[in-house]
Amino acid sequence: MLLRCRSRVLNLDTPVVMGVLNVTPDSFSDGGRYTDPAKALAAARAMYAAGAALIDVGGESTRPGAEPPPLEVELQRVVPVVRAIAAELDVVVSVDTSRAPVIAAAVEAGAGFINDVRGLRDEAALAACARLGVGVCVMHMQGEPSTMQNAPAYRDVVAEVRGYLAGRIAQCLAAGIAPEAICVDPGFGFGKTSEHNLALLVALEEFAALGVPLAVGLSRKSLAGALTGRAVGERLAGSVALAAIAASRGARLVRAHDVAETLDAVRIGWAARRPPGGER
């Protein structure tokens, strides 16, 4: 299984890890740590050395309750970091954004992948990705970050999220994005309760069957906290356990803050996955 990211092609026959690099002052886990571009580049170097296949630069906090920054602020946060990483490291640079101007500026600076928590619902963002030939990850989110955790509700969370992602795949293809440039993410923690998140985790194989690579983001999130009782800074063990489970159920791209530990977990989970047909 391949994932095309402009001029680069990632081999996803075995899962890879995407390192999380938030260049925001208010992200839920590492907010404020990498607002200095020099510190962000140093963190990217460490993630690359630890085995990250992609580094995901985010200039908008999407934690529950967050409001989007002004466009110029997001550009100022993201573009210098993308340019520095792309100039130095042999890695796919991803940008976590929903805005067409940020997509265009980031690609010009060297990004090859767009990770959109809003699923490229913005027509201008969708068109920009198609025009620029980037790889894309479309994620499910109920509502917006500012309101998504107020009262998330579903009749059947697995069926509804799967149906949404299937629809987004169709929209991406209709816009001209190549099938080998698309992956999907069920959006753990984005407009979901712990019960919803657990149901999605149990059913991940249904998302892996959509025909494009499955991405997951479970690192340090509320599901690990709900299952272990640990605070955000104490969720490493829970996060790598969730990463191993996700890989065993078909995830090909795992987004994580702790790259080396997650890569070990993903390799073990992938090795322990069920063969086709579920027989052992």
Q: Give the pLDDT band (50/70/90) at residue 252.
A: very high
pLDDT at 83: 97
Domains held by the chain: number: 1
Residue 131: domain span: 2-278
104-107's contacts with Cβ under 8 Å and 24+ in sequence apart are 104/128, 104/132, 105/75, 105/78, 105/79, 106/57, 106/78, 106/79, 106/82, 107/6, 107/132, 107/134
Contact indicator for 193, 228 with CB cutoff of 8 Å: no
pLDDT reading at 140 higher than 60 = yes
Q: Which of 3-7, 9-13, 14-18, 23-27 has the lowest mean pLDDT?
A: 23-27
In the chain, what percentage of residues exceed pLDDT 90?
84
Verify whether residue 255 is a known catalytic residue: yes
Given a cut of 90, is residue 65 above it in pLDDT?
no
Measure the CA–CA gap between 256 and 219, rounded to whole angstroms: 5
Say yes or no to pLDDT of 118 above 60. yes
Question: For residues 269 and 277, what is the distance between their CA atoms, to the nearest angstrom?
Answer: 18
Confidence class for position 269, pLDDT limits 50, 70, 90: very high
Q: What is the reported pLDDT for 35?
A: 76
Q: What is the pLDDT of residue 36?
A: 87
Long-range contacts of the stretch 34-42 (C-beta < 8 A, 24+): 34/81, 35/77, 37/80, 37/81, 37/84, 40/81, 40/84, 41/81, 41/84, 41/85, 41/88
At 250, list the tokens.
């078909």
Cβ proximity of 252 and 214 under 8 Å:
yes
Separation of first and last alpha carbons in the chain: 23
Q: Which of 99, 118, 235, 255 is catalytic?
A: 255
Instruction: State the average pLDDT over residues 202-212.
Output: 96
Cα(154)–Cα(174) distance, integer angstroms? 28
Q: What is the mean pLDDT of the chain?
A: 93
Reported residue count of the chain is 280
- Is it the case that residue 280 has pLDDT exceeding 60? no
Q: Over 80: is that where the pLDDT of 66 sits?
A: no
Residue of 77, 220, 221, 249 with catalytic role: 221
Active site residue 221: yes
Indicate whether this model's pTM tops 0.85: yes
CATH number for position 142: 3.20.20.20
